[in-house]
Structure 1
Amino acid sequence: MDTKDRSFSAWHLHLRGKVQGVGFRPFVYRLAKEKKLGGWVSNDTDGVHIYVEGEKEKLQDFYLFVITHYPPIALVTESSYQEVPVQGYKDFFIKESLKEGSSSVLLLPDLDVCEQCIQELHCPTDRRYGYPFITCTQCGPRYSIIFALPYDRQRTSMEPFKMCEDCQREYQNPLDRRFFSQTNSCKKCGIELSLSDNLKTNFSYGEQTINQAAEAILKGEIVAVKGIGGFLLIADAGNEQTLKRLREKKKRPHKPFALMFLDIQSVKKEVELSDEDQKLLNSRSKPIVILDRKKGNHSLVSQLVAPGQDTLGVMLAYSPLHILLLEHVGKPVVATSANVSGSPILSMDQEIFTRLGHLVDKVLSHNRQIIVAQDDSVVISSPFYKQPIFLRRSRSYAPFYAHENLRLDKKISLLALGADQKGCFSLCHEGNIYVSQYLGSLQNFESEENYKKQLNYYFLLFNLDLNSLAIDLHPAYRSTEIGLSLAAERKITPFYVQHHKAHFWAVLAENDLIYDLEPILGVIWDGTGFGEDGTIWGGEFFLYQNGKMNRIKHFSYYPLLLGDKTIKEPRLSALGILWKVGKESLLKEKFSSSEWHTYLKLLNLKHYFLCSSVGRLFDCVCSMLGGYDLSTFEGQAAMEVQKLATRYAKSFGSLDCLPWERFAFIKKLIRTQPQISLNDFFVWFTEAVNNHWPKEQLAFGFHYWLCWIIIQIASAFCVKKIAVSGGVFQNALLVDLLRFFCTKDFELYFHRQLSPNDENISLGQLIALAHEKKFLQRNYKNT
């Protein structure tokens, strides 16, 4: 081709988004070769750069194809091109990645093993047959193994594993699907398995370790298995003695364990599975999905897996190691995070031996380092509409946060520290947003240390120079204290965001509503949050319009005795609420004589916090219905009330078939002036309990009351758009009831990529900060 021909040109393309570690360069290479174009493609700290030469018409076709037909696990969020001088390349090649300056490429989440790799894993003639770390460009670990950007092997924990000649040949062959696969390895050059007992003796290595670990599980032993994001404790889901020991040693008496299954067929034997549920289980993220347990006596899963629950938390084996192990075990297994309850998941061998040596019998490990530890993600599917709701966002989702319609100034770096109960921070850098994985309660020392470690990891990864940071109003939050320390160290002024307003900002951002012209009602219900008036909020209504957010309603304040002690004792929530409505005598038998007199004295002397939390209302209802008076894990009482109400709703088959006339009177119990009164409803509720109404019906009536409060307030303020957030909206039945009652007259908005619980607080803080500082660019989609 004559490069002096006017139709001949050279373009420089710049692509940002999920464009590294997803087979993007090989895709570009093959396309350029097919179209007979010259030039190169390279990863850089700000995305993928492509220099391409050829006829202008071919360049236009090439550019359009690149930004519309990229690999399925990739995502181009921004693209641009400019004409540049022709350099006269005779061929197209992949250029070595550059590493200069601050990185703006997206951190990618870990992925499950792809179907092609699974086929090779099971093919006796394939050289990776039975290799438990098989990967390609379309699958395998990313986030958990990166210690620097851009994403190349030498900047991951795969760096120590030198590729053999066969693997190197694949890596360098543009027509091979492992072309530039940074995790490429095989039995000759790859990661090595080891199995030992809990004393670090009797080590064995190689392929036989999987079979030996499976035999140990079938004998009733607990095996710690090193996966992608950390160790899982694996045990036979049907062995009650093993499960009793696991609960005792893990200090987890009631909280459900997750289960891992080999395939969908085995899942269907244990739980009810809709098409939507199956799609979620089979997705590339492979989360734990909470599903209804099948009724019957032929289950392979003990009741001790989820004591007292109607549901099971189910996931499919997502790594080749897990697949091979479950094939040997031949039945579902408990697969719970390797930690003592409340502490972070463990990811290093030495931690397992020193901290859990008393619990595990065997340790199945490998010699690839986990750089970033993370738990499995958890999603619940709502009972009627099958709406997925995140309960925990971690492996295979974090830290990537897609925001195609949300634009932030690329010149600034912002940090938001989140809350304490669900440790999570958010970061804006080079216009990209990252929301960290779930990091546990910062009231736990080890979780706090892990939170700080992850913060430091991001600072080093991106060479951050912060412009500003946001923190919660609560003066005693560890996240707030950490933020204040960072602000002082970097000489920047911290930006305070009230807890429930942060929830509202987050759900507005997720639904592209920041610049919406219509007023939006924010319904923010959770367990606790420090209010602007010094009280404990948690049952809040906000109105958002013209960029301003105002609190317009809340549940009437009631006494919250003894602070955090009440959160662990639903009976105390019940006492405070029923004392307020003059019905506390119903609860006397729940307390010792000395407790009763002491608590009543505190109430009469007004030695309590004022509280509007809906989460504590659930605790109260649970205690009144004879459920838990003392909780052994967070949300236990609310789960019990939701379970009872869901049983009632499901007994009629569908929401349309429910006898709604039975609950019509509850609307008359709603009083919203000046604030939402508890009196009429809880006076009726105590009478109904005394009259021995079915507890399932009462639990459902409570849900009905909550739904109609939202509808009445939305109607009173003439608002058509309702956005909900807060831990209460993890309640899948409540979400379905809102959809059932509101769809005709209102537009409902829920979280999409994040959990409604406190994991979204940091994103809300980040958006509030960006909005206040005018770093957030107007989204014209909604205007």
Structure 2
Amino acid sequence: MNSETRQRLRLEIVGLVQGVGFRPFVYRLAVDCGLSGWVANGSAGVCVEVEGESTDLRRFQLRLPLAKPALAQIESVACTPIPLQRDCSFRVRASETGTAAVPVLPPDLAPCDDCLREMSNPGNRRFKYPFINCTQCGPRFSIVERLPYDRDHTAMKHFPLCAACKSEYDDPADRRFHAEPIACPECGPQLKLQDSSGNTLAAGDQALQLAALALSDGQIVALKGVGGFQLLVDAGNTIAVKQLRTRKRRPQKPFALMYPDLTQLKKDCVTSVQEEACLIASQRPILLLKAKPGAGTRISSAVSPANPNLGVMLPSAPLHHLLLESIQRPLVATSGNLSGEPICIDNDEVVHRLGQIADLFLVHDREILRPLDDSVVRVMDGQTVLLRRARGYAPLPLPLPEASCSNRALLALGADLKNCVATSLGNTAYLSPHIGDLQDHRTLQQFEHAVADLIHLHNEAPTTLLCDRHPGYESSRWARKQWADMRGETPRKPLEVRPHIEVQHHIAHLFSCMAEHQFRGAALGICWDGTGLGEDGSLRGSDCLYWNGRGAVTRIGSLREFPLPGGEQAIREPRRTLAGLLYECLGERAFSCNILMKLFTVSELSVIRTMLERGINSPRCSSVGRMFDAVAVILGLVDSVSFEGQAAMAVEFAAGEFGTDAHYHFNIDDTTQATCSLDWAPIIMSLLEDMDRGISSACRAAAFHNTLAQMALATALRANVRDVFLSGGVFQNKRLVERTAELLRLNGFQVYSHRQVPPNDGGIALGQLYYARCMDDCLMVSEEGSALCV
């Protein structure tokens, strides 16, 4: 061997390279190329040292990105020549620690085809074992305690490997070589069935079969899934589904369904090739699909009341596969919690929290270290859009454009609804999974745990907190308290942070969409949602924002404002919102309108009148979301609602696939030079006139959607900015997104909408991060803790 051509290289590989079979792949590739050296997990990713002839080293480097495991994602490879060591073999060695970069934690993945085949093979030692996994599938993020990703750093450390599993774990040629969650019936987690008093009724396969029988008999079973407990019930049993609604305190919000396989799912749902690919992907999200007309023969109408869509998924864990294989029918599979609470993950608390809901509990002894709800996805405008980013997608990072402030550690606290927190290190954003709504004290605790988790896993405390401007948000109060603690106003100092920065809600929406597309130039943001606090303290919900790319955001348009009699109560009772709109249009004459006299009793209408005339508890807003609420009332779809977005969904569903280009007239008031006001009054009056004329609700709902799209186009034409970003919860509406994008594109605009982060408030934390980074680049944030606001 020619020593002059022999070299040794050290490769630092960053990306999704832990928990996806990357080290076994590197081992086999190095051996195939005739190289010596080693591979190990590091705190930054995977470290490799390879030694051999220069031609063999080049072959190794060329094949590395091309032949990598399907789930692996390589972000960067730093290669450094180092002195020869003359070792004669290649090995996998113990993990390295102490490196500064942050690794990509792997998400939890559905069982692969190889594991499913083994699980169904009576001759295999893992036959019917509900915790089967390998390097290509199984639990990851939900069981990681700390980095690097090794078995001793996961919930599996409590399960010593048996001889057979140890042999597989140590064999480079085996599919389970260094598969950290590896387990079998001999040495791994075990299943048991408990009653609502916590008594064990059965174990192993008998527990599963008894649970299947209970579901067939109409009972409610709480199953411990990958990221938390799920409540299961036979989807075709109306009595059982209604009982679950009553016990869970969820009267109308749709339930998700889990099907045994794609064949059965397609009997009930209309699917495209793109949607089928999403369903069978390793993330296994809940996908919103249109129900077929015959779905009602197998699925109870109580599953998704007054809703033409079904939220469906395929099994995401081996336990699901085994249970559904026994039952061979779709199940309701909803999160294990009371409405408004976070998902339950702990065996010790499940009976206490879910004992009044579930009849039986199918549990196991593998600990869940962090809760993960099911992700929710919808295909809109030809793209797969995440509406809830959780299991299967979190905690994959999102790249950000390079910025001069990349060394500053930012922690963004998001909003109070659909909360998600995020941090940025270097040019990468790390988002927590979906947390939930912070009004519940348990969810607020989960929020605090998620913050601590981000800091712990990435080993870097934030220097700056980012929060929403709304003073009543729990997340904003928490930020202010941390800042007060740091200044010594209270003795506790949990985070060593300097300033806290308040970012206006719709600015965060705009920048979340910009961040997702790694966009840096001038942009127009059409941000429509329920409510977000404006710079003047008003309730906004329809801002059109211009970012000049140089440090300034300007509001250039919005809806005409209107009052909400009762404030929060108007959100729960959309009829109140309609009363506010009509009063804004007609003044006293509103109270003689037939529709209001039908919706309210004489005494109720008198109270509403007093509130509006005197301005009592009637905050003014400019919300497209509240407009949807009022239109739902005009169309006769709702009077009151029990969950967020219910009225807006009803309007979308009423439009269905009604084909029309018709839209209502609206006015544009540009008497104020800085901004224009989109006057909705002609729309409301036309909707009422069409109601009196007997025009169908489908026609009116479709025309309303078209009108909103025309409003977006009119605003964009006035702004004359080519790049337009659509964000905010209203753009979860498939018809609205597609119609608006189509109109804008036909008029020469480049349209951007959400894909990887939700358009709703689940994307706010990312927007807060990106806004602060962009402002740092343009203005440099003051070290005095002053708020960056618009």
- TM-score, with normalisation over the residues of structure 2? 0.93
1:146-165 map, 5 Å: 146-165=144-163
Q: Which moved more, 1:344-353 or 1:734-743?
A: 734-743
1:596 aligns with 2:598: no
Q: Deviations over 1:164-186 (max 9, x none)?
A: 11111111111111100001111
- Supply the distance in 1 between the matched residues of 2:69 and 2:296 (Cα, whole angstroms): 43
1:555 aligns with 2:553: no
- Supply the distance in 1 between the matched residues of 2:631 and 2:644 (Cα, whole angstroms): 16
The Cα shift of 1:386 comes to 4.3
Q: Which moved more, 1:626-635 or 1:387-396?
A: 387-396
DSSP-derived class of the 1:687 partner: helix
1:293 aligns with 2:296: no
DSSP-derived class of the 1:339 partner: coil
Residues 491 and 122 (structure 1 numbering): CA distance in 2 closer, same or farther, change over 3 Å? closer
Q: Deviations over 1:590-635 (max 9, x none)?
A: 1222221122112111232121110000001011111211111111
1:395-406 map, 5 Å: 395-403=391-399
The Cα shift of 1:266 comes to 0.2
1:473-512 map, 5 Å: 473-487=469-483, 488=486, 489=493, 490-512=496-518
Q: Deviations over 1:74-121 (max 9, x none)?
A: 111122111111111111111100233666112221111111111111
Letter in structure 2 aligned against 1:541: C
DSSP-derived class of the 1:305 partner: coil
Is residue 399–residue 427 contact of structure 2 (8 Å, CA) maintained in 1?
no
Letter in structure 2 aligned against 1:587: L
- Partner of residue 786, structure 2: none
The Cα shift of 1:431 comes to 4.3
The Cα shift of 1:49 comes to 1.0
The Cα shift of 1:647 comes to 4.3
Is residue 543–residue 552 contact of structure 1 (8 Å, CA) maintained in 2?
yes
1:213-292 map, 5 Å: 213-292=211-290
Identity of aligned residues (%): 37
- Partner of residue 564, structure 1: 568
Letter in structure 2 aligned against 1:473: R
- Supply the distance in 2 between the matched residues of 1:511 and 1:491 (Cα, whole angstroms): 29
The Cα shift of 1:717 comes to 2.2
DSSP-derived class of the 2:86 partner: coil
The Cα shift of 1:133 comes to 0.6
1:574 aligns with 2:570: no
Residues 335 and 544 (structure 1 numbering): CA distance in 2 closer, same or farther, change over 3 Å? same
1:412 aligns with 2:437: no
Give the gaps of 5 or more residues in structure 1.
Answer: 649-657, 778-783
The Cα shift of 1:477 comes to 0.6
- Supply the distance in 1 between the matched residues of 2:106 and 2:313 (Cα, whole angstroms): 21
- Partner of residue 688, structure 2: 686
DSSP-derived class of the 2:15 partner: strand
The Cα shift of 1:349 comes to 1.8
The Cα shift of 1:401 comes to 2.4
Residues 701 and 474 (structure 1 numbering): CA distance in 2 closer, same or farther, change over 3 Å? same
1:609 aligns with 2:619: yes
- Supply the distance in 2 between the matched residues of 1:258 and 1:753 (Cα, whole angstroms): 21
- Partner of residue 84, structure 1: 82
1:632 aligns with 2:670: no
- Supply the distance in 2 between the matched residues of 1:49 and 1:243 (Cα, whole angstroms): 52
DSSP-derived class of the 2:127 partner: coil
- Supply the distance in 2 between the matched residues of 1:707 and 1:8 (Cα, whole angstroms): 65
- Partner of residue 426, structure 1: 422
DSSP-derived class of the 2:293 partner: coil
1:524 aligns with 2:527: yes
- Partner of residue 781, structure 1: none
- Supply the distance in 2 between the matched residues of 1:486 and 1:198 (Cα, whole angstroms): 41
Is residue 104–residue 432 contact of structure 1 (8 Å, CA) maintained in 2?
no
- Partner of residue 678, structure 2: 676
Is residue 223–residue 360 contact of structure 1 (8 Å, CA) maintained in 2?
yes
- Partner of residue 645, structure 1: 655
The Cα shift of 1:19 comes to 1.0
- Supply the distance in 1 between the matched residues of 2:148 and 2:482 (Cα, whole angstroms): 26
1:314 aligns with 2:299: no
Residues 539 and 446 (structure 1 numbering): CA distance in 2 closer, same or farther, change over 3 Å? same
DSSP-derived class of the 1:136 partner: coil
Q: Deviations over 1:403-461 (max 9, x none)?
A: 27566866432100000011111111354321111111111211111111221222233
DSSP-derived class of the 1:170 partner: helix
Q: Deviations over 1:515-559 (max 9, x none)?
A: x3xx42210000011100110111010112223321111111111
Q: Which moved more, 1:612-621 or 1:730-739?
A: 730-739
The Cα shift of 1:56 comes to 2.1
The Cα shift of 1:360 comes to 0.9
Residues 406 and 225 (structure 1 numbering): CA distance in 2 closer, same or farther, change over 3 Å? farther
DSSP-derived class of the 2:547 partner: strand
* Counterpart among 769, 774, 777 of residue 771 in structure 1: 774
1:623-772 map, 5 Å: 623-648=633-658, 658-660=659-661, 663=662, 666=664, 668-673=665-670, 674-744=676-746, 745-772=748-775
Is residue 408–residue 776 contact of structure 1 (8 Å, CA) maintained in 2?
no
Give the gaps of 5 or more residues in structure 2.
Answer: 487-492, 671-675, 781-790
The Cα shift of 1:57 comes to 2.7
Is residue 287–residue 379 contact of structure 1 (8 Å, CA) maintained in 2?
yes
Q: Which moved more, 1:466-475 or 1:131-140?
A: 466-475
Letter in structure 2 aligned against 1:644: A
Letter in structure 1 aligned against 2:443: S
Letter in structure 1 aligned against 2:684: F
- Partner of residue 651, structure 1: none
Letter in structure 2 aligned against 1:579: Y
- Partner of residue 431, structure 2: 435
- Supply the distance in 2 between the matched residues of 1:218 and 1:86 (Cα, whole angstroms): 66
Is residue 44–residue 102 contact of structure 2 (8 Å, CA) maintained in 1?
yes
- Supply the distance in 1 between the matched residues of 2:22 and 2:271 (Cα, whole angstroms): 35
The Cα shift of 1:689 comes to 1.9
- Partner of residue 489, structure 2: none
Residues 189 and 408 (structure 1 numbering): CA distance in 2 closer, same or farther, change over 3 Å? farther
Is residue 23–residue 40 contact of structure 2 (8 Å, CA) maintained in 1?
yes
Letter in structure 2 aligned against 1:505: F
- Supply the distance in 1 between the matched residues of 2:39 and 2:706 (Cα, whole angstroms): 58
Residues 659 and 628 (structure 1 numbering): CA distance in 2 closer, same or farther, change over 3 Å? closer
- Partner of residue 490, structure 2: none
- Supply the distance in 2 between the matched residues of 1:140 and 1:40 (Cα, whole angstroms): 26
Is residue 112–residue 286 contact of structure 1 (8 Å, CA) maintained in 2?
yes
Aligned residues: 757
Is residue 223–residue 232 contact of structure 2 (8 Å, CA) maintained in 1?
yes
- Supply the distance in 1 between the matched residues of 2:597 and 2:144 (Cα, whole angstroms): 57
Q: Which moved more, 1:736-745 or 1:612-621?
A: 736-745
1:331-410 map, 5 Å: 331-382=329-380, 385-403=381-399
- Supply the distance in 2 between the matched residues of 1:774 and 1:60 (Cα, whole angstroms): 39
The Cα shift of 1:6 comes to 2.4
Is residue 258–residue 331 contact of structure 2 (8 Å, CA) maintained in 1?
yes
Is residue 390–residue 730 contact of structure 1 (8 Å, CA) maintained in 2?
no
Q: Deviations over 1:730-773 (max 9, x none)?
A: 00111121233233322110112011000000000011112222
- Supply the distance in 2 between the matched residues of 1:324 and 1:53 (Cα, whole angstroms): 46
Letter in structure 2 aligned against 1:702: F
1:144 aligns with 2:142: yes
The Cα shift of 1:719 comes to 2.4
1:121 aligns with 2:123: no
Is residue 394–residue 433 contact of structure 2 (8 Å, CA) maintained in 1?
yes
Q: Deviations over 1:304-326 (max 9, x none)?
A: 10111111110001111000000
Letter in structure 1 aligned against 2:539: I
Is residue 406–residue 509 contact of structure 1 (8 Å, CA) maintained in 2?
no
- Supply the distance in 2 between the matched residues of 1:271 and 1:611 (Cα, whole angstroms): 39
Q: Deviations over 1:289-310 (max 9, x none)?
A: 1111111376211001011111
